Amino acid sequence: MESYDVAVIGAGPGGYVAAQRCAELGLKTAVIEKETLGGVCVNVGCIPTKSLLKNAEVARLVRKEAKTFGVSFENAALDYAAAVERSRKVSKRLSQGVGLLMRKGAVGVYSGVGSFLSADTLLIKKDDGAEERIGARNVIIATGTRPADIGNIRCDGERIMNYRQAILNPNLPKSAIVIGGGALGVEFASVWAAYGAEVTVVEMMPTLLPGDDEEAALELAKQFKRAGIKVLTGHKLKSAAATENQAAVALEYGADEVSLSADHVLIAIGFRPNTEALSLENAGVATDARGWIATDAFGKTNVDSIYAIGDVSGKIQLAHVASALGRIAAEKIAGRSPAGYDPDLIPHATYSIPQVAAVGLTQAEAEKRGIPAVVGKADFIANGKAIGLDDYVGWAKLVCHAETGVVLGGTVIGPEASEMLPEIALAVRLKLKAGDIAATIHAHPTLSEIVADAAHDAVAKLEK
């Protein structure tokens, strides 16, 4: 039986990054993956959706905006199937890249389903029925999540789909109802609408992107409506059923029931942890009633030698969070002293059209915590690069401590908003002040000047 210092179960953005870091730190490492290296993110998640969104931007340009740039098309054809095919090629290339990283790090790669025989012994069940055992002084669980069943609704992959089925479907729906106004739902809505589909987004909460800056959520809804996307907030899914030609949903809106139908329904809500096949009881690893693995700030479970990272740990479900947790766990196992997980330092981005990105505290959250806050804000309408791009909807907002000027958080909605995040995230982590950003010269013309402009506005308000 081969023995390792660390065995990682799951090779998604948490697992393969953890394995790579363990190998860099001189630990003999193995990774076990039941499907494809790269996990959900690379193969059926964030990477292929971003590929589709790039196609959507091109499609939108061709359909609605080309004349602005002096370009005209006759009989322009938009091939959605080709966009899906391109997204699959992008995913395949990145998955192969993960394989190369594992080989370069001399990480042992096992294909199959990993489970615990004991805290330090794993069983690997391969697709052909063969079994293999390996020993590991430490184990990192990175098995992620999957779409959860919502009541009696069955995702058949035809009329009613979950995100995995939708992202692999080469057929553009003529009409679609998207259940869930979070990042996943609004991104799919952006893609399909850009290709001409009639899309309705249904969200149970009062605004899209629950938990984000409310003003940004309202602005996104406004831009969706301009793009022809119907937005129904405050509507709760009651049921969904497929017929031969359509799918129908019943929604609760206060005391009323609303019925809708479309060619397709996308269920973009509800996830559950992939823990059932792990035989966690053999290792003594505790979970809550729903199967989420409880961990500390370093990913350690109730068993000292076993860690859980990424979505399966119930932390913020984002690929870069999983990667960060993977590095933290690897360094902790290697005897180093990494900083632990802090949700206030986690940036997040929604790649809708327009994009929405944020990090740290919103003004509402600062007020909830009793922190006096000043908000600096700047609009893209005054940004030269945005005007040149003819993409100037939105703004940047910095939330700063009213007494010290320290940047507590920020939100950007508009062109390439996600690319504005690193500067704000660095400011939040290092407790920089609005004046530090304002005093930093930003190249002109760039979209990033919007952050400096928001900082200047915050400084002016702090000086009063």
Q: Which of 159, 193, 148 is nearest to 57 (CA)?
A: 193
CA distance 11 to 142: 7
Alpha-carbon distances of 312 from 22, 118, 288, rounded to whole Å: 20, 20, 11
Where would I find the H helices in 262-412? 319-333, 363-368, 384-389
Two structure tokens written together for 27: 């630990």
Return the number of other C-beta atoms located less than 10 Å from residue 341's C-beta.
21
Place of tokens 């400011």: 427
Is-catalytic flag, 348?
A: no
48 within 8 A of 72, measured Cβ to Cβ: no
Place of tokens 């590991």: 136
Torsion over CA: 273, 278, 281, 285 (sign): negative
Cross-strand pairs, 265: 160, 177
134 within 8 A of 110, measured Cβ to Cβ: yes
Radius of gyration of the chain (CA): 23
Two structure tokens written together for 402: 């009213």
> Given 264, 401, 442, 444, which residue is catalytic?
444
User: How long, in residues, is the chain?
Assistant: 464
279 within 8 A of 209, measured Cβ to Cβ: no
Cross-strand pairs, 29: 6
442 within 8 A of 361, measured Cβ to Cβ: no
CA distance 61 to 65: 5
Helices 214-226 & 183-194, crossing angle to 10 degrees?
20
The catalytic residues are 444
